[in-house]
Amino acid sequence: MEERKLSREQAKAVAHCDGPRMVIAGPGSGKTFVITRRLEHMIRVHGVRPEEILVITFTKAAATEMQMRFEGLMGDDAMQVTFGTFHSIFFGILKRAYNYTAADILTEKEKYDLLKSVISVYQGTGDDEIDNLISKISKVKNDGISPEDYDDGEKIVDKESFCGIFYDYEKLLRSENKLDFDDMVLLCRELFLNDKDILGYWRERYKYILIDEFQDINPMQYEVVKMLAAPKNNLFVVGDDDQSIYGFRGSSPGIMLGFKKEYKDAGITVLSDNFRCREEIVKVAGDVIASNKDRFKKKLRAVRKGGDSVAILSFDDKQDEAASVTSMIKSALNHVPPEDIAVICRTNTGISRYSGILMTEGIPVSLKEKVSNIFNSSEAKDILAMFAYAHGENTRENLLRFMNKPVRYIRRCDLENREVSLEVLLRNPELKDYVKKNIRTLIFEMDNLKKMHPFAGINYIRKGMGYESYLISNGKKKGRSKEEINELLDRIWDTARYVDDYGHWLEWINEYDEMLKGGVAEKSEHGVNLTTMHGSKGLEYSIVILPDINEGNVPGKRCESTEDIEEERRVFYVALTRAKDKLIICYLKKNAEQKIMPSRFLRESGLI
């Protein structure tokens, strides 16, 4: 790519040196190529000293890749340009001012554990809720507002509890002399506001600032950057408002849309050529994103013409879809290496499901982000405990997990020993007759379960033993929908579909756990890529498959406001534009026997 000639638009961006400029770079428009060529041009043509240039990206991987690309152009001179993430740059500033060390910064795991301990005081909260609260606390800090003023309409906890969690978390941080990543931005802002000498030092150090993925910047980061760039404002920002997908972190296309108001003398360059995607893919993606109102109006041109590159497929249910996706991947592997294929799901739940399905079929997979193991869910643990007990592991621990799911009125105090036989328990003279009847039924059910293949057995547990009805009834009290519960049980059920027997299923579960633990890597050379739509940003593949493109999933069922729908549309746009040669979009006609609708975005695309 470095050998190709600059387009007219790219050349205009590369030639810019002094003053503010915004480059709107659509997907596949060669922005890294433009950034590295501009750095080279600044040094070789305009005589800018490389040590006075600061390049900020949003991920360590992006910073490393850009630095390596630039080193290929400039050799030793490239080493003097500073490349880094917002966090690494701000940490360097704080380190010089306050002698901070890496040990002072809270890791993501430490942050999670700290918040979990704080949250437990207020209510019992699952992993997903903790992750959600972490995002909300981060957004409060990044927006520069108080927790009392924060309201996104999603009530995981009430306002009073949220404020209590926020302030208790802050108190714990201070008591342990720790900072989280968001604090680094706030402290830099405070430092620059209160110490003009330090601000002056960094302004003199970095006279030229370049920001990649500018659409992802949040208000606090932007405020610090503006202070650093003033008064000369040699600020060169590159981004795409149509790919602003981190609203939950505080980013907003509004910052990019307001750049011209902030810097009235700023030039704007639009990179309109898409070098990645086939023409039909560019058209479909363009038709979808055109429905957004809060954006720069632009039209991308596909450099790569021709080809039957977009397919849209409907399926009766998730099982039908999964079987077809598996078949398509197997067929594609005859002529495309696995690393050039991606299944891009809306959520981690989708990745978890497809990782299990593909692994069952012997298809190698590569996970691009951490995925929760469904067998860590309480429902999976209940089901496994039932199977284990039926197969002779008559432990108190196993029985306690399921004996009252549904309610059978078996008392914990009646289970005195580590090994508990239901037949022996039945002889207890103190048991009520109705409890004895329930135990006899449970003995009968355990005998039946022992004889069953796991796939049939899970269905028997769900329907025959009343476990599914119990979960749905209990779930109503906790705000869990019937659809959510059925989807979880379906995913567990799917894992047993193709195994030989109970022992084989347990082996598969262990292998799956090992795969999830070892599957996350920045780059894998062997394996079909599984990633979320958010996780796919910045990546590209020859073949992209998008499953479950239905209302309630894309856009999500909690999306009600115009802003939420527009962000969901941008997320979908990002997923569409990962495909180079073939884009396969799938939607369902039914889920859990209920009719569901294809995503509204498919109507906007003109595909249905």
On whether the CB atoms of residues 211 and 235 are closer than 8 A, the answer is yes
Helix count and strand count (H, E) for the chain: 25, 16
**Bridge partners (DSSP) listed for residue 24:** 239, 270
Angle of CA points 290, 291, 294, to nearest 5°: 85
On whether the CB atoms of residues 209 and 236 are closer than 8 A, the answer is yes
Could you say which residues of the chain have pLDDT below 70?
A: 1-4, 123-129, 152-156, 518-525
**For position 152, what pLDDT does the model report?**
65
Radius of gyration of the chain from its Cα atoms, rounded to whole angstroms: 28
**What span, in angstroms and rounded, lies between the C-alpha atoms of 225 and 223?**
5
DSSP E strand boundaries for 74-147: 82-85
Q: Which residues contact 347 (CB under 8 A, 6 or more apart)?
A: 532, 553
On whether the CB atoms of residues 74 and 82 are closer than 8 A, the answer is no
DSSP structure class, residue 501? S
**What span, in angstroms and rounded, lies between the C-alpha atoms of 208 and 214?**
15
Please state the pTM of the whole predicted model: 0.84
**For position 406, what pLDDT does the model report?**
95
Please classify residue 325 by burial: count the beta carbons closer than 10 Å to its beta carbon, then call 0-12 exposed, 13-18 middle and 19+ buried.
buried
**For position 144, what pLDDT does the model report?**
79
Angle of CA points 271, 275, 278, to nearest 5°: 125
Chain CA centroid to CA 29, Å: 24
Residue 471: which region, alpha, beta or left (left: phi > 0; alpha: psi -120 to 50)?
A: alpha
Q: What domains does the chain contain, in order, with CATH numbers? A: 8-96+185-271 (3.40.50.300), 106-178 (1.10.10), 301-370+524-605 (3.40.50.300), 375-508 (1.10.486.10)
Chain CA centroid to CA 81, Å: 31
On whether the CB atoms of residues 210 and 56 are closer than 8 A, the answer is yes
